[in-house]
Amino acid sequence: MKLSDAPQSASTEASSNLLSGAEIVCHAMKAEGVEFVFGYPGGAVLVIYDEIHKQNNFKHVLVRHEQAAVHAADAYARATGRPGVALVTSGPGVTNAVTGIATAFMDSIPMVIITGQVPTYAIGQDAFQECDTVGITRPCVKHNFLVKDVGELAETIKKAFFIATTGRPGPVVVDIPKDVSMAKAPFHYPATVEMRSYRPTNKGHSGQIKKAMQMLLSADRPMIYVGGGAILGNASAEVTALVRMLGYPCTNTLMGLGAYPSTDKQFVGMLGMHGTVEANMAMQNCDVLIAIGARFDDRVIGNPTHFNAGNPTRKIIHIDIDPSSISKRVKVDVPIVGNIKDVLDDLISQLQNAEQKPGNIAAWWKQIEEWRAKDCLKFKQSDSIIKPQYVVQKLWEVTKGDAYVTSDVGQHQMWAAQYYGFDKPRRWINSGGLGTMGVGLPYAMGCKFAFPDADVACITGEGSIQMNIQELSTCKQYGLPIKVILLNNRYLGMVRQWQEFFHGNRHAESYMEALPDFVKLAEAYGHVGMKVEKPGDVEGALRDAFAMKDRLVFLDFQTDQTENVFPMVPGGKGISEMILAEDL
């Protein structure tokens, strides 16, 4: 269809029942209960924007870069559990969005990304702002669609939400050529969709659950390992009930923080590359391990050969909604495929009805307490220089442990994970899988839109924050009183740390020269900036910042340039092969 052939505005009665593709998009958003669409306009989506302008069912948030639109929608999904929605134009709009999409994909975040495309007749002609969106995004989406017929648009959007939010969640891209946005079709939004090729398993196999229960009850050295799947599956209450019922130790992955309350005594801390001694040692030495919505990835168990060889008799139970996550890196003994909440409900009720009770594991707890006594997260406080860990601890105190905390990627991310005790799910928003620098500020925006009355803090570094600093302008436009906690050590800290350990301490390109004056920068964007240089001023600055309820405050904490993240498992090593601060 040529542009000039596009149906014109309704002039006959018959065509008045027809909606344009752009109107269908807006109606579909309404039907899905979408609150916010994060986006950026451009040629291929102008028609959709025109319809957005005319409606009041959802609010459009104008970002300053498409990557931030996807990150903000992603954070909205992480914080609320509802799918995030982003809208970008064709070509560079899409390629800018790809980092955001890949970030969401790696962490299994339910999202629908609507992308504009050049008109169908121009596809393949190297048209202005054309790119093969479906081809470019294919490896980093759960699924994607190119809609060539406006008659299929409504059902395709329904499918996109269905696929994004069910099974193992993930981002779904719907690519809409401009002529499809303009063409008209009757609007019918299906209440449900059936797809013969997509039927996720929800209910776990009860025989397997029974086996798991018996294995758990006969354990001498049990360990409960909980990942992001428990949060995505809204199963924190079930996880907490199970852990308390059994009286066993529990660890959360970086993505699982908050699934089990961090301040509880059965919690042994985060595990993995920067996990606690007690979590990693218990993981390595347990005799029965139950993995709940976790995937044994390289940053969590380190070298799988070491993990297995060091403890070949360990029995593993693995609950996951995605069968391909099971026995991928580590062979398991009792696989249970299903929705975590449903599986844990079954497991808990089987446990309640079982005659056998959990065995006495006092000896195991004694061992764990010995590991815990190492106090591996202690750090040397200073009177003269700000320790980054101290800032995070004070943030936790000032916000009473109840803020939405986003982070970027690097040392500050690990300190945030280690020192902010997350007691609730969906409070810790970070890029675990892809490790995308630059997510922190747009993540904080997504949280603030979702929960305008909650405290939202973005813990960041001077490297990461500059990867999406332009969003300070978005924050100004929408009056988002985020608190940016910049742990400024004038280094790409994690890079420098690896260089110190593994590259002869040669700081190749890890020093950030010519940093801006962040206070002035924040002020230039219309926000409040504060520079904090003394440990004694940290708490006061935080209190002042959070007291400014209606202002974004950018706190530039000048922190110790030499501080490193401990414990640390070097890449490729086993998780019990940790380097501790006290070893150095």
> Which chain residues interact with another protein by CB under 8 A?
134-135, 138-139, 142-143, 146, 163, 195-198, 322-324, 327-328, 331
State which residue, 6 or 321, has the beta carbon closest to another protein.
321
**3 state SS of 152:** helix
Catalytic residue, candidates 128, 214, 331, 582: 128
Q: Are 187 and 158 a contacting pair, CB within 8 Å?
A: no
**3 state SS of 200:** coil
The structure tokens 């603030």 sit at 448
178 catalytic residue (yes or no): yes
Taking the complex as a whole, the smallest distance from the CB of residue 105 to another protein amounts, in Å, to: 12
Question: Which residues on neighbouring strands pair with residue 530, listed in sequence order?
Answer: 555
State which residue, 12 or 197, has the beta carbon closest to another protein.
197
**What's at 319, amino acid-wise?**
I
State which residue, 59 or 331, has the beta carbon closest to another protein.
331
Q: Are 424 and 383 a contacting pair, CB within 8 Å?
A: no
State which residue, 193 or 530, has the beta carbon closest to another protein.
193
**3 state SS of 392:** helix
State which residue, 310 or 323, has the beta carbon closest to another protein.
323
Catalytic residue, candidates 32, 66, 238, 563: 66
Burial class (CB in 10 A: 0-12, 13-18, 19+), 444: buried
State which residue, 255 or 326, has the beta carbon closest to another protein.
326
Catalytic residue, candidates 270, 283, 437, 494: 494
Taking the complex as a whole, the smallest distance from the CB of residue 99 to another protein amounts, in Å, to: 17
Q: Are 532 and 386 a contacting pair, CB within 8 Å?
A: yes
Taking the complex as a whole, the smallest distance from the CB of residue 323 to another protein amounts, in Å, to: 5
**3 state SS of 58:** coil
Taking the complex as a whole, the smallest distance from the CB of residue 166 to another protein amounts, in Å, to: 11
State which residue, 216 or 321, has the beta carbon closest to another protein.
321
Q: Rounded CA gap, 162 and 158, in Å?
A: 6
Taking the complex as a whole, the smallest distance from the CB of residue 306 to another protein amounts, in Å, to: 18
213 catalytic residue (yes or no): no
128 catalytic residue (yes or no): yes
Taking the complex as a whole, the smallest distance from the CB of residue 70 to another protein amounts, in Å, to: 20
State which residue, 146 or 456, has the beta carbon closest to another protein.
146
**Which H helix or E strand runs over 211?**
helix 206-217
**3 state SS of 304:** helix
DSSP for 94-146 reads HHHHHHHHHHHHHTT--EEEEEEE--GGGTTTT-TT---HHHHHGGGSSEEEE
Q: Rounded CA gap, 426 and 256, in Å?
A: 9
Taking the complex as a whole, the smallest distance from the CB of residue 145 to another protein amounts, in Å, to: 9
Question: Between the CA atoms of 88, 93, 95 and 98, what dihedral angle is there, to the nearest 10 degrees?
Answer: -30
State which residue, 320 or 408, has the beta carbon closest to another protein.
320
**3 state SS of 44:** helix
Taking the complex as a whole, the smallest distance from the CB of residue 324 to another protein amounts, in Å, to: 4
Taking the complex as a whole, the smallest distance from the CB of residue 119 to another protein amounts, in Å, to: 17
Please report how the helices 538-547 and 388-398 are oriented relative to each other, as an axis angle in degrees rounded to 10.
40
Catalytic residue, candidates 30, 58, 129, 424: 129
Strands (E), 282-367: 288-292, 315-320, 334-337
Residue 92: CA count within 13 A, CB half-sphere: 7
- Nearest C-alpha neighbor of 232 from the set 62, 379, 429, 515: 429
**Which H helix or E strand runs over 408?**
none
**Angstrom distances, CA of residue 501 to CA of 268, 328, 578:** 27, 30, 13
**3 state SS of 386:** strand
**What's at 250, amino acid-wise?**
C
Catalytic residue, candidates 142, 158, 159, 178: 178
Catalytic residues: 66, 128-129, 178, 494
